[in-house]
Structure 1
Amino acid sequence: MVVSRIPPALGGGCLGILTPLLLLASAASLRAARIPAPPACGKPQRLNRIVGGEDSTDAEWPWVVSIQKNGTHHCAGSLLTSHWVVTAAHCFKGNLNKPSQFSVLLGAWQLESPGPRSQQVGIAWVQSHPVYSWKEGSRADIALVRLEHAIHFSERILPICLPDSSVHLPPNTRCWIAGWGSIRDGVPLPHPQTLQKLEVPIIDSEVCSRLYWRGAGQGAITEDMLCAGYLEGRRDACLGDSGGPLMCQVEGTWLLAGIISWGEGCAERNRPGVYISLAAHRSWVMRLVQGVQLRGHSQGRGPAGEGAPSPRGPR
Structure 2
Amino acid sequence: MVLSRCPPALGRGCLTTLASLLLLASAATPDVAKMPAAPPACGKPQQLSRIVGGEDSSDAEWPWVVSLQKNGRHHCAGSLLTDRWVVTAAHCFKGSLDKPSQFSVLLGAWQLGNPGLRSQKVGVAGVQPHPAYSWKEGARADIALVRLEHAVQFSERVLPVCLPGPSVRLSPDTNCWIAGWGSIHDGVPLPAPQTLQKLKVPIIDAEVCSRLYWRGAGQRAITEDMLCAGYLEGERDACLGDSGGPLMCQVEGAWLLAGIISWGEGCAERDRPGVYSSLAAHRAWVQRLAQGVQLGGQAPRSRARRAPRRAPRRVPGGAAPR
State the TM-score, normalizing by the size of structure 1. 0.85
Q: Distance in 2 between matches of 1:191 and 1:254?
A: 28
Contact 1:177 1:200 in 2 (8 A): yes
Contact 1:260 1:273 in 2 (8 A): yes
**Correspondence 1:144-159 to 2 at 5 A:** 144-159=145-160
Contact 1:53 1:235 in 2 (8 A): no
Query: 1:218: which partner in 2?
Result: 219
Query: 1:67: which partner in 2?
Result: 68
Measured against aligned partners, the alpha-carbon deviations of 1:137-160 in whole angstroms (never above 9, x if no partner) come to: 000000000000000000000000
Measured against aligned partners, the alpha-carbon deviations of 1:218-250 in whole angstroms (never above 9, x if no partner) come to: 221100000000000000000000000000000
Say what the alpha-carbon RMSD is for the aligned residues. 1.8
Aligned length: 276
**Correspondence 1:16-165 to 2 at 5 A:** 30=31, 33-48=34-49, 54-165=55-166
Contact 1:162 1:278 in 2 (8 A): yes
Contact 1:234 1:268 in 2 (8 A): yes
Q: 1:311 deviation in Å?
A: 4.5
Q: 1:298 deviation in Å?
A: 4.1
**Correspondence 1:203-282 to 2 at 5 A:** 203-282=204-283
Q: Which amino acid aligns with 1:38?
A: P
Contact 1:59 1:155 in 2 (8 A): yes
Q: Which amino acid aligns with 1:115?
A: G
- The 1:151/1:280 distance shift into structure 2, 3 A limit, reads same
Contact 2:168 2:299 in 1 (8 A): no
Contact 1:90 1:311 in 2 (8 A): no
Contact 2:265 2:320 in 1 (8 A): no
User: Which moved further from structure 2: 204-213 or 29-38?
Assistant: 29-38
Query: Which stretches of structure 1, 4 residues or longer, exceed 4 Å deviation after superposition?
Result: none
Measured against aligned partners, the alpha-carbon deviations of 1:73-131 in whole angstroms (never above 9, x if no partner) come to: 00000000000000000000000110000000000000001000000000000000000
Q: 1:32 deviation in Å?
A: 8.0
Structure showing greater relative contact order (alpha-carbon pairs closer than 8 Å, 6 or more residues apart): 1
Identity among equivalent positions (%) equals 79
Q: Which amino acid aligns with 1:43?
A: K
- The 1:90/1:234 distance shift into structure 2, 3 A limit, reads same
Q: Distance in 2 between matches of 1:267 and 1:37?
A: 41
Q: Distance in 2 between matches of 1:272 and 1:310?
A: 11
Q: 1:296 deviation in Å?
A: 1.2
Query: 1:171: which partner in 2?
Result: 172
Q: 1:214 deviation in Å?
A: 2.6
Contact 1:262 1:275 in 2 (8 A): yes
**Correspondence 1:176-195 to 2 at 5 A:** 176-195=177-196
State the TM-score, normalizing by the size of structure 2. 0.83
Contact 2:81 2:87 in 1 (8 A): yes
Measured against aligned partners, the alpha-carbon deviations of 1:249-289 in whole angstroms (never above 9, x if no partner) come to: 00110000000000000000000000000000000001101
Q: Distance in 2 between matches of 1:309 and 1:282?
A: 28
Measured against aligned partners, the alpha-carbon deviations of 1:156-211 in whole angstroms (never above 9, x if no partner) come to: 00000000111000000000000000000000001110000000000000000000
Name the SS for the 1:207 alignment partner: helix
Q: Distance in 1 between matches of 2:188 and 2:151?
A: 35
Q: 1:33 deviation in Å?
A: 4.8
Q: Which amino acid aligns with 1:116?
A: L
Structure 1: state its 5+ residue gaps. 1-25, 300-307
Q: Distance in 2 between matches of 1:53 and 1:78?
A: 22
Contact 1:214 1:220 in 2 (8 A): no
Q: Distance in 1 between matches of 2:169 and 2:32?
A: 39
Q: Distance in 2 between matches of 1:86 and 1:185?
A: 25
Q: 1:295 deviation in Å?
A: 1.2
Q: Which amino acid aligns with 1:42?
A: G
Query: 1:12: which partner in 2?
Result: none
**Correspondence 1:5-16 to 2 at 5 A:** none
Name the SS for the 1:199 alignment partner: strand
Q: Distance in 2 between matches of 1:114 and 1:105?
A: 9
